[in-house]
């Protein structure tokens, strides 16, 4: 079963725009954006539908991602840019960042496919 909401670093993401609207009336808080899962991992989108971050299925990331003019994706392999760090509420602690990402990957994907 696919989750309707994901939580990463204390921010909630809805599967679709209906979930964002539903989150306005829930006690857990308003969604920060939406997400889309693929075989490769999880894409996080802002409220305008722009791809902002990507988390690999093995728990590595998240990293900044954006679309180029020709439609291809551009990944910042060094991690999140400052704008995405603030948007995602990424913790200062490296170990907290890694554990949060891996925990979400284990929740969404098969545990044997996530880096221990």
> Could you report the per-residue pLDDT of 47-60, keeping only the tens digit for each?
999 999 999 999 99
Look up the pTM and report it: 0.90
Q: Is 61 exposed, middle or buried (0-12, 13-18, 19+ CB in 10 A)?
A: buried
Note whether 99 and 55 are within 8 A (CB).
no
Tell me how far apart the alpha carbons of residues 58 and 98 are, in angstroms, rounded to a whole number. 11
- 55, 105 in Cβ contact below 8 A? yes
Contact 63, 73 (CB under 8 A): no
For residue range 90-100, list pLDDT tens digits in order.
Answer: 999 999 999 99
């Amino acid at each position: 079963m696919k989750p309707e909401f994901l939580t990463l670093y204390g921010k909630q993401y809805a599967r679709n725009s209906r979930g964002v609207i539903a989150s306005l009336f829930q006690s857990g808080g308003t969604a920060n954006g939406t997400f889309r899962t693929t075989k490769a991992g999880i894409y996080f989108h802002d409220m305008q539908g722009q791809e902002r971050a990507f988390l690999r299925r093995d728990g590595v990331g998240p990293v900044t991602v954006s679309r180029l003019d020709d439609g291809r994706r551009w990944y910042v392999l060094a991690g999140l840019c400052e704008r995405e760090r603030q948007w995602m509420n990424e913790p200062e602690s490296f170990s907290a960042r890694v554990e949060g990402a891996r925990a979400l990957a284990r929740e969404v994907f098969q545990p044997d496919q996530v880096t221990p």
